[in-house]
Amino acid sequence: MQIPRLETPRLLLQPLRSEDAIQVQQVFPRWEIVRHLIGSVPWPYPADGARQYIEGMALPAMKAGQAWHWSLRHRSDPNSLIGLISLRLGAEDNRGFWLVPEWQKQGLMSEACAAVTEFWFIHLDQTRLRVPKAMDNLASRRISERTGMRLVDTYRKTFVEGELPAGTWELTRDEWLAQRDKG
């Protein structure tokens, strides 16, 4: 399946490309972005970390039909990458994202999540979306809560910041469809 470009009122979600590594490397290695990401993200971030991730992990998973990765770009400046959002097949970790701090607290990630959640349930025909996260990642938790996700499990997990309390949030297709039909 070709990965489509997605659009929201304020964002362009473009399929991730090798060329995006340059911009990712420029904006991603910041503590406020990486601290709540999974512990396998190297920190300090290596000088070629973005290229390694995109070419060694993201693009092969996209080609295999196991993951879908998009760069986030604001419509006001479509040449500038401001974040990433991803979907992954699997039982426990289906969506991840990050956004540069200068663009946070504007509802942009909620828009991006809505677009990829629709893609997940409608185009990929998945029955549930599960998202693990650090419990103290309040902004990410709020996105899950506002989109009707439920906390279904709590545990400890290793993040870049260290071992922290974590939780898995879940939304089923039926729950998502019911919300969409109400709205």
Q: In the chain, what percentage of residues exceed pLDDT 90?
A: 97
CB distance 133 to 157 below 8 Å:
no
pTM, entire model: 0.96
pLDDT of res. 73:
98
Q: Say if residue 154's pLDDT is above 80.
A: yes
Question: CB neighbours of 54 closer than 8 A, spacing ≥ 6?
Answer: 16, 17, 18, 20, 21, 24
pLDDT at 181: 87
H helices present in the chain, as ranges: 21-27, 31-34, 49-53, 59-63, 108-118, 138-146, 173-182
b vs e for 8-42, b when ≥16 Cβ sit within 10 Å of the residue's Cβ?
Answer: beebebbbbeeebbebbbebbbeeebbbbbbeebe
Q: Residue 129 in contact with residue 147, Cβ under 8 Å? A: no
* pLDDT tens digits for range 19-49: 999 999 999 999 999 999 999 999 999 999 9
- The Cα–Cα gap between 29 and 46 comes to 9
The pLDDT value given to residue 157: 98
More confident residue, 2 or 108: 108
The pLDDT assigned to 72 comes to 98
Percent of the chain whose pLDDT exceeds 70: 99
Mean pLDDT of 69-86: 98
Averaged pLDDT for residues 155-167: 98
Q: Could you report the per-residue pLDDT of 83-112, keeping only the tens digit for each? A: 999 999 999 999 999 999 999 999 999 999
Give the mean pLDDT of the chain: 97
Per-residue tokens: 172: 């089923």
Q: What is the pLDDT of residue 147?
A: 92
CA 167 to chain centre: 16
